[in-house]
Chain A
């Protein structure tokens, strides 16, 4: 049950972060499975800036090997990455 709650919280934060980084947030109808890249929600720089947001707001450093289109495909895939690397911090 705790895991489910954690996923819900992470999802909520990630949805807000994606909207804040979107090229055109006012036109956005975002679901957990919206194709963030294919549908043009995020450009590559917007996608990469999410890495910083995730580190700041979710205390999770996405490692270099997971910086790819698979991770950033959707809010759902982002949640999976954050849960996988929860608590991982970048070197100071």
Chain B
């Protein structure tokens, strides 16, 4: 239930598949970039909160639905989607917020299209690989998910059994899905999209493998947009040390460590995250450049 008016639109663009986005609120444009495989509904509370200060744009990360069978959406394709939406909306520039795997899309957008990105916030960013010394930052869920993605790529015939086994497990445990031990029932309902069909499992696996191969280290080192990085101390999906390291590698980045927050903080700790985003993005000048932040 929301009191914020939303305008949902879609248009057909590259790949011949619809690109669906939602605009709400008023003010400077702020794009929320979702993680792979997570329902758009994940953003609703945060989007509503931020719509008081910004024109908030969310979009459906493409690549998992049936229209993409046989075609792969890579990180760079999601960046192109972001640009398409901004052009469609008539926004010359926007602030962006990338959560989890959405963080690489944000970084790539700021790097490949700096003219479109005024400033960015990276929430619990999953920016692996980070190179030697960060092997211990891979959480059990990340390690297992990547293993399964490689398994599906090698043995795609297993995909239907993967869907069935997750359903079996739900029956046994009364729970569901990939993040069993680290997500609340409220969150679990929003992260199961890739696991409801065997085709979805195959496409999700391909997207994950591309994601983990996409190396943003050179981009982070050269970024010139003001950046806030948020690390959630209770994050058991993406190790918070990754966020701290990302902040270290991005010039003049600000780091906020949320001691009580977990990985799903945009949903589970909405007020605090909205406050951090608002405080950072609202104090920047219209044409912000790195080094100009007080």
Query: CB within 8 Å of B: which residues of A?
Result: 21-25, 37-38, 40, 43-49, 51-53, 61, 64-65, 67-69, 72, 90-91
Residue pair B181, A45 in contact (C-beta under 8 Å): no
Assuming the A-B contacts A52-B151, A67-B162, are A23 and B169 also in contact, with contact meaning beta carbons closer than 8 angstroms in the complex?
no
Q: How far is the CA of A38 from the CA of B165 in the complex (A)?
A: 14
* B146 (CB) vs chain A CBs: closest residue: A49
Q: Are A37 and B144 in touch, CB under 8 angstroms?
A: no
Q: Which residues of B contact A51 (CB under 8 A)?
A: 151, 158
Q: Are B147 and A52 in contact (CB under 8 A)?
A: yes
In the complex, the chain B residue whose C-beta lies closest to that of A46 is: B144
Of all chain B residues, the one with the shortest Cβ separation from A71 is: B165
Taking the closest CB of chain A, its distance from the CB of B171, in whole angstroms, is: 8
Taking a contact as CB atoms closer than 8 A, the residue among A22, A37, A53 that contacts B169 in the complex is: A37
Chain B interface secondary structure, helix, strand, loop or mixed? helix
> What is the CA–CA distance of A58 and B270 in the complex, to the nearest angstrom?
46
Whether B181 pairs with A48 at a CB distance below 8 angstroms is no
How far in angstroms is the closest Cβ of chain B from A39?
10
Known: A38-B172, A68-B161. 17 other contacts (CB 8 A): A37-B169, A37-B172, A37-B173, A43-B180, A43-B181, A44-B177, A45-B141, A45-B144, A46-B144, A47-B169, A49-B144, A49-B147, A51-B158, A52-B148, A64-B161, A67-B161, A69-B169
Count of B residues near A, CB < 8 Å?
29
Known contacts: A45-B148, A52-B151, A64-B160. The answer to whether A69 contacts B181 by CB under 8 A is no
Q: How many A-B residue pairs have CB under 8 A?
A: 82
CB within 8 Å for A23 and B165 given contacts A43-B180, A48-B151: no
B157 within 8 A of A: yes
- A64 and B152 alpha carbons, distance in the complex (Å): 11
> Does B256 belong to the interface (CB within 8 Å)?
no
Find out whether the CB atom of A49 lies under 8 angstroms from the CB atom of B151.
Answer: yes
Question: Are B151 and A45 in touch, CB under 8 angstroms?
Answer: no
The residue in chain B whose Cβ has the minimal distance to the Cβ of A64 is B161
**Is there an interface contact between A47 and B180, defined as CB atoms closer than 8 Å?**
no
14 contacts between A and B (CB under 8 A): A21-B144, A37-B169, A40-B173, A40-B181, A43-B144, A44-B169, A46-B140, A46-B144, A51-B151, A52-B148, A65-B161, A67-B161, A67-B162, A72-B165
Mask of B157-184 contacts with A, CB within 8 angstroms, 1/0: 1101110111011001100011111100
Which of B143, B147, B158, B180 touches A44 (beta carbons < 8 Å)? B180
Q: Which of A22, A48, A61 contacts B165 (CB 8 A)?
A: A48
